[in-house]
């Protein structure tokens, strides 16, 4: 017997993207250099097949036709980010008027198409000149971010009612200061903690600027709230799970939603000797500027267990000195990305938000499946039959639907991403989009089977299975 999965009529259906991954590096129109532009110039071999940010899907040139395609696929909303280094080529100082024109046009085109713009201010793309000053390590850069945010609100706030300060701010902490995956390629836990703290402060200051302007909508943050599952009920495994949750989830989640840092986290960092430099007035700013709305990015769970071997005594301190990662036997996995597929994780996140975070208004702001060499699945009509993506989305939407029936305040679902885009070090290795992009002919887009399927889901506000 078929079961119906129905969603509210005003559910936010759409996709998510980021400036650095989609726009293209159009320096000729005044865009300044970001850390990605610099790093690619410095070490192009670090990027898959040597493809850097100049080879993105050229939304900057083709945004009008891309928005029309979103409309054709039924989008009711679309999240994109503003490039800080496009709007402020030096990270501060003068505003680039061509950037203002571009983002004004994108917002107007979306609204004309009946698609609500969700605008994010920061998605891993620090202006290089500010990174030269230390990036998020430097309190001065935090202040520059609040000025950048206010400028965006002033230019675009009359037409945008959903704003987000940052996307996955824990990722620059991890990838840039612990695991050598993002610029500035440092491995320094002390700096990582300071970067995390300053990122949270920057978000709160941006929210403060937003509220000074007056009622122009809602503002939030987008977090990858990855559930930390313990290997067993043994107290040592449970402790490992709590520590991972404190470091990677509650650090940003509690500060953003509740305005305070977990006391257990503060004590842990104090015991380790890694408390960041904190000003008392900053803690007040964080406390008084919590988010209105929360974006939840979910791809895979985190599974951990108690440490089984002591780390090398001279190795730099890492979170993994406190717990080990655990590969659950029998887990389903996406072999191309190496990530576990565990749909119930999104339900567990939403229930946690309901029970422990005031049931804050939220939405699934990213969820998706990256697959390599999708051309293998082309049919005779030239359409990629990505049934695996359809099943992936269905599996997660079922659990979102279950959370809705149990009172969770979840308002929408955005897939990562609309069209295949450049993905940091992986470049175009794995494709995530509803729409495939011809890398040789950047204007050529082809809707995949999943895109047409999702259009029906949006039209019917659900599906049957």
- 258-317 pLDDT, tens digit each: 999 999 999 999 999 999 999 999 999 999 999 999 999 999 999 999 999 989 989 999
DSSP state of 304: E
Find the Cα–Cα–Cα–Cα dihedral 256, 260, 261, 267, rounded to 10°.
180
Q: How far is CA 57 from the centre of its chain?
A: 18
How many CB atoms within 10 Å of residue 272?
14
Structure tokens at 92: 């501060």
Taking residues 328-338, report their average pLDDT. 93
Domain 4-464: state its class. alpha beta
The 8-class DSSP code of residue 303 comes to: E
Taking alpha carbons only, the member of 65, 23, 58 closest to residue 442 is 58
> What is the pLDDT at residue 301?
98
Residue position matching structure tokens 């939403």: 350
330: region left, alpha or beta (phi > 0 left; psi from -120 to 50 alpha): left
Q: Is the peptide bond before 417 cis (omega within 30 degrees of 0)?
A: yes
pTM for this one?
A: 0.97
- Say what the pLDDT of residue 36 is: 96
pLDDT at residue number 24 = 86
Above 90 in pLDDT, residue 439?
no
Closest residue by Cα to residue 16 from 83, 79, 106: 79
Q: Strand 218-223 to strand 162-167: parallel, antiparallel, or no bridges (unpaired)? A: parallel
Instruction: Give the C-alpha separation, 278 to 17, whole Å.
Output: 33
Q: What is the dihedral of CA 168, 173, 179, 182, to 10 degrees?
A: 70
Other C-beta atoms lying within 10 Å of the C-beta of residue 128: 21
- Within 8 A by CB and 6+ apart from 356, the residues are none
Whole-number pLDDT of residue 28 = 74
Residue with tokens 């009920």: 233
Strand (E) or helix (H) holding 33: none
pLDDT score recorded for residue 179: 97
Percent of the chain with pLDDT over 70: 100
Q: What is the pLDDT of residue 337?
A: 86
* pLDDT band per the 50, 70, 90 thresholds, residue 1: low
Residue 366 is among the residues annotated as catalytic for this protein: yes
Mean pLDDT computed over every residue of the chain: 96
What integer pLDDT is reported at residue 428 of this predicted model?
93
Catalytic member of 116, 144, 366, 374: 366
Share of the chain above pLDDT 90, in %: 93
| Contacts made by residues 368-371, CB under 8 angstroms, sequence distance 24+ | 368/299, 368/392, 368/415, 368/416, 368/417, 368/432, 369/334, 369/337, 369/341, 369/432, 370/334, 370/336, 370/337, 370/423, 370/426, 370/429, 370/430, 370/431, 370/432, 371/334, 371/336, 371/430, 371/431
Side-chain half-sphere CA neighbours of 223 within 13 A: 28
Residues pairing with 447 in the sheet: 435
**pLDDT higher than 90, residue 77:** yes
- Contact, 457 vs 447, CB < 8 A? no
Is the pLDDT reported for residue 43 higher than 90? Answer: yes
Supply the DSSP symbol for 419.
Answer: B
- The structure tokens 């929210």 sit at 207
Question: Which contacts qualify for 185-192: CB closer than 8 Å, 24 or more apart?
Answer: 185/39, 187/316, 187/318, 188/316, 189/274, 189/316, 189/317, 189/318, 189/319, 190/274, 191/137
274 Cβ contact partners less than 8 Å away, ≥ 6 residues apart: 189, 190, 193, 317
Task: Say whether 46 sits in a helix, a strand or coil.
Answer: helix
Considering the candidates 116, 168, 343, 374, report the single residue annotated as catalytic. 168
219-235 per-position pLDDT tens digit:
999 999 999 999 999 99
Known catalytic residue: 374? no
* CA gap 447, 157 in Å, rounded: 32
**For residues 219 and 344, what is the distance between their CA atoms, to the nearest angstrom?**
27
- At 184-194, the pLDDT tens digits run 999 999 999 99
Rounded CA-CA distance 58/55 in Å is 8
Buried b (16+ CB within 10 A) or exposed e, 280-312: eebbebbeebbbbbbbbbbbbbbbbbbeeeeee
pLDDT digits (tens, 9 = 90+) for 129-179: 999 999 999 999 999 999 999 999 999 999 999 999 999 999 999 999 999
What is the rounded average pLDDT of the residues 324-351? Answer: 96
For residue 5, give Cα distances in angstroms to 317, 350, 402, 454, 461: 46, 17, 9, 14, 8
CA distance 198 to 176: 14
Q: Cβ distance 453 to 384 under 8 Å?
A: no
Is it true that the peptide bond before 184 is cis, omega within 30 degrees of 0?
A: yes
Domain ranges of the chain: 4-464
Alpha carbons 432 and 24: distance in angstroms, whole number: 18
């Amino acid at each position: 017997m078929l079961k119906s999965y129905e969603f509210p009529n005003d559910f936010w259906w759409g996709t998510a993207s980021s400036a650095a991954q989609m726009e293209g590096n159009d320096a000729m129109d005044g865009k300044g250099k970001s850390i990605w532009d610099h790093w690619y110039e410095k070490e192009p071999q670090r990027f898959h097949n040597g493809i850097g940010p100049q080879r993105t899907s050229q939304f900057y040139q083709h945004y009008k036709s891309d928005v029309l395609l979103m409309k054709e696929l039924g989008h009711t909303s679309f999240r994109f980010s503003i490039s800080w280094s496009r709007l402020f080529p030096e990270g501060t100082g003068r505003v680039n008027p061509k950037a203002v024109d571009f983002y004004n046009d994108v917002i107007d085109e979306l609204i004309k198409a009946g698609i609500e713009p969700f605008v994010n201010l920061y998605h891993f793309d620090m202006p290089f000149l500010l990174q030269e000053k230390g990036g998020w390590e430097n309190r001065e850069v935090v202040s520059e971010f609040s000025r950048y945010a206010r400028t965006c609100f002033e230019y675009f706030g009359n037409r945008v009612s959903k704003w987000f300060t940052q996307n996955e701010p824990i990722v620059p902490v991890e990838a840039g200061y612990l695991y050598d995956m993002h610029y500035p390629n440092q491995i320094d836990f002390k700096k990582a903690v300071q970067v995390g703290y300053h990122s949270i402060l920057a978000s709160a200051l941006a929210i403060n600027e937003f509220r000074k302007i007056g009622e122009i909508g809602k503002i939030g943050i987008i977090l990858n709230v990855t559930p930390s599952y313990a290997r067993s009920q043994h107290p040592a495994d449970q402790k490992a799970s709590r520590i991972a949750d404190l470091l990677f989830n509650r650090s940003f989640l509690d500060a953003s939603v509740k305005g305070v840092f977990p006391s257990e986290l503060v004590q842990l960092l104090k015991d380790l000797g890694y408390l960041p430099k904190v000003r008392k007035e900053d803690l007040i700013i964080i406390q008084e500027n919590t988010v209105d709305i929360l974006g939840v990015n979910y791809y895979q769970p985190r599974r951990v267990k108690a440490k089984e071997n002591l780390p090398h005594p001279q190795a730099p301190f890492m979170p993994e000195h406190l717990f080990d990662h655990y590969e659950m036997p029998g887990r389903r996995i996406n072999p191309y990305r190496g990530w576990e597929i565990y749909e119930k994780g999104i339900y567990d996140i939403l229930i946690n938000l309901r029970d422990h975070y005031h049931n804050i208004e939220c939405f699934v702001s990213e969820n998706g499946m990256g697959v390599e060499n999708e051309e293998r699945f082309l049919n005779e009509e030239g359409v990629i039959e990505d049934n695996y993506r359809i099943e992936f989305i269905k599996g997660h939407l079922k659990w979102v639907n279950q959370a809705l029936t149990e009172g969770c305040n979840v308002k929408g679902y955005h897939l990562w991403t609309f069209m295949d885009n450049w993905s940091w070090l992986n470049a175009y290795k794995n494709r995530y989009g509803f729409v495939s992009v011809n890398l040789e002919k950047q204007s050529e887009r082809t809707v995949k089977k999943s895109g047409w399927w999702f259009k029906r889901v949006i039209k019917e506000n659900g599906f049957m299975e």
